[in-house]
Amino acid sequence: MSEFLLRLESLANMLPQRPETAIVLTLAAYFAGLRLFGWLRSPAWCPPILLAACLLAGLLALLPLDYTEYRRGVGWLTWLLGPATVALGVPLYQQLHHVRTLWKPIVLTLPPAAILAAGYAVSIAWLLDAPPTVLASLAPKSVTAPIAMGIVEELQGSVSLLMGALLITGVMATLSITLLARLGNIHDQRVIGFALGVNGHAIGTVRAFDIGPTAGAFASLGMSLTGVFTALWLPLMWHIMG
Amino acid sequence: MLSILRGFLILTAFLMLGDIIVELFALPLSSGVAGMLLLTLWLLLRRRLSHDLDAASQPLIGMLALLIMPGVVGIFFQADEFSGQWLTIFIALVLGTLLSSLTTLWLMQRLVSMSGERPHE
């Protein structure tokens, strides 16, 4: 019996180190988050990923497993982010034909819109005396998460703070574009969709698909183009500005 | 299933290619983004999307939310690092996003209505 207890103890030491523990926790929290989202009747201000992240954080806080250990264990899963980012090239290719039908407004709107999406927030934070890490973490706030994570590593910001920033930006862009379009009497799905994708990345794109397929297509186009464009100019600009 | 694996091979090969190019030319890009650009370019040149690539991309893109979750959770464990900054961060995000949304909507609406009046320009 005492031998069994000893084995139980060594198991308790070993389990937190194993990748499967981290992966089981992540997947379980993910599906629980999705279910909770359904029960709450799919609130727009609280995407399922936030619910899942809160559940996972709760689990990690309760269990004898610290965050660095968890990150090491879950590495097998997060590595897939690389091929998944490459995979974003497929929808980008599929949506590029929209550029042909409306190329002038898209080509002229994209650069200033993408630069300002980063510029306004960074300037406001800079005026309020935020440290460089915070500025670097806020800069890619309107870029879709997998691309933004790559950018923030280049700028040496905090991935975690970026994730929070992405969430607030997505929700805020969705709310403000819905409201502003109503106030400004804008009904063109292409305009609303594009604005949602450029400013609100994936969260805005989900909302655009609620409005209609045209809005959705323009939102995913706007999201992809903003991601690519920002990934090219932002790190370059950051290096130049020092 | 084999189709997904073949597609996964293509995606991972492009990721590797991205890795190589980023390292060789010291580009300020992540290898994933470089791989994505190379893949898009390749698709534009071929003008055809293979079934394998589509079969592998769809599930991976659907999994993105799951894949970024470990990063999101970090905010709960690194919150102390940014204590005293939260109000600044919140103001910058909310006000910045409101302003940029307004700019994009206004600019795009103007340009679309301009090109609508003169469609053959």
Give the 3-state secondary structure of residue A189.
Answer: helix
Residue from B8, B73, B77, B103 to probe the interface with A (highest A Cβ count within 10 Å): B73
List chain B domain ranges: 1-68, 85-121
A196 vs A153 pLDDT, higher one:
A196
> For A17-35, what is each residue's pLDDT tens digit?
888 999 999 999 999 999 9
Sorting pLDDT into bands at 50, 70 and 90, what band is A47? Answer: confident
Tell whether A95 and A203 lie within a shared domain.
Answer: yes
pLDDT in the model for residue B117: 47
Residue A242 scores a pLDDT above 80: no
> Does residue A98 contact residue A217 with C-beta atoms inside 8 Å?
yes
Tell whether A176 and A232 lie within a shared domain.
Answer: yes
Tell whether A46 and A97 lie within a shared domain.
Answer: no
> Does residue B101 contact residue A180 with C-beta atoms inside 8 Å?
yes
Cα–Cα distance measured from residue A186 to residue A177, given in angstroms and rounded to the nearest whole number: 10
Tell whether A120 and A214 lie within a shared domain.
Answer: yes
Q: What is the mean pLDDT of residues A43-71?
A: 85
Give the A window 99-158 contacts with B, CB below 8 Å.
102, 104-105, 108-109, 112-113, 116-117, 119-125, 128-131, 134, 138, 141-142, 145-147, 149-151, 153-154, 158
Tell whether A41 and A97 lie within a shared domain.
Answer: no
Tell whether A75 and A91 lie within a shared domain.
Answer: no
Please, what is the end-to-end C-alpha distance for chain B in angstroms?
49
pLDDT in the model for residue A139: 94
Which of A50, A79, A108 is the endpoint of a domain?
A79
Tell whether A147 and A205 lie within a shared domain.
Answer: yes
Cα–Cα distance measured from residue A79 to residue A72, given in angstroms and rounded to the nearest whole number: 11
Residues 6+ apart with CB under 8 A from A39: none
Cα–Cα distance measured from residue A219 to residue A222, given in angstroms and rounded to the nearest whole number: 5
Check A176 against B97: CB less than 8 A apart.
yes
Which of A79, A102, A119 is the endpoint of a domain?
A79
Q: What is the mean pLDDT of residues A77-97?
A: 88
The two three-digit tokens of residue A183, written as one number: 């106030």
- Chain centre distance of CA A32: 20
Cα–Cα distance measured from residue A34 to residue A69, given in angstroms and rounded to the nearest whole number: 25
Q: Among B15, B67, B69, select the one facing A86 at the smallest CB separation.
A: B15
Which residue is listed with tokens 């949602």?
A: A196
Q: What is the mean pLDDT of residues A73-94?
A: 89
Tell whether A113 and A225 lie within a shared domain.
Answer: yes
Q: Tens of pLDDT along chain B (121 residues)? A: 889 999 999 999 999 999 999 999 987 778 888 898 899 999 999 988 999 999 999 899 888 888 888 888 888 887 777 888 889 999 999 999 999 999 999 999 999 888 764 443 3
Chain B residues inside the 8 Å CB shell of A181 = 105
Q: What domain range is A191 assigned to?
A: 87-241
Chain B contact for A89 (CB, 8 A cutoff): yes
Residue A63 scores a pLDDT above 90: no
Alpha carbon of B119: minimum distance to chain A alpha carbons (Å) = 10
> Does residue B50 contact residue A175 with C-beta atoms inside 8 Å?
no
Q: What percent of chain A has pLDDT over 90?
A: 46
pLDDT in the model for residue A182: 92
Tell whether A63 and A97 lie within a shared domain.
Answer: no
Which of A48, A79, A110 is the endpoint of a domain?
A79
pLDDT in the model for residue B121: 32
User: How many domains does chain A fold into?
Assistant: 2
Where is B28: in which H helix or E strand?
none
Cα–Cα distance measured from residue B100 to residue A173, given in angstroms and rounded to the nearest whole number: 9
pLDDT in the model for residue A241: 80
Chain A contact for B83 (CB, 8 A cutoff): no
Tell whether A125 and A216 lie within a shared domain.
Answer: yes
pLDDT in the model for residue B91: 95
Cα–Cα distance measured from residue B33 to residue A8, given in angstroms and rounded to the nearest whole number: 45
- What is the dihedral sign for C-alpha B90, B73, A197, B36? positive
Q: What is the ipTM of this complex?
A: 0.86
Check A160 against B71: CB less than 8 A apart.
yes
Tell whether A91 and A75 lie within a shared domain.
Answer: no
Which residue is listed with tokens 């379009």?
A: A181
> For A212-221, what is each residue's pLDDT tens digit?
888 888 998 8
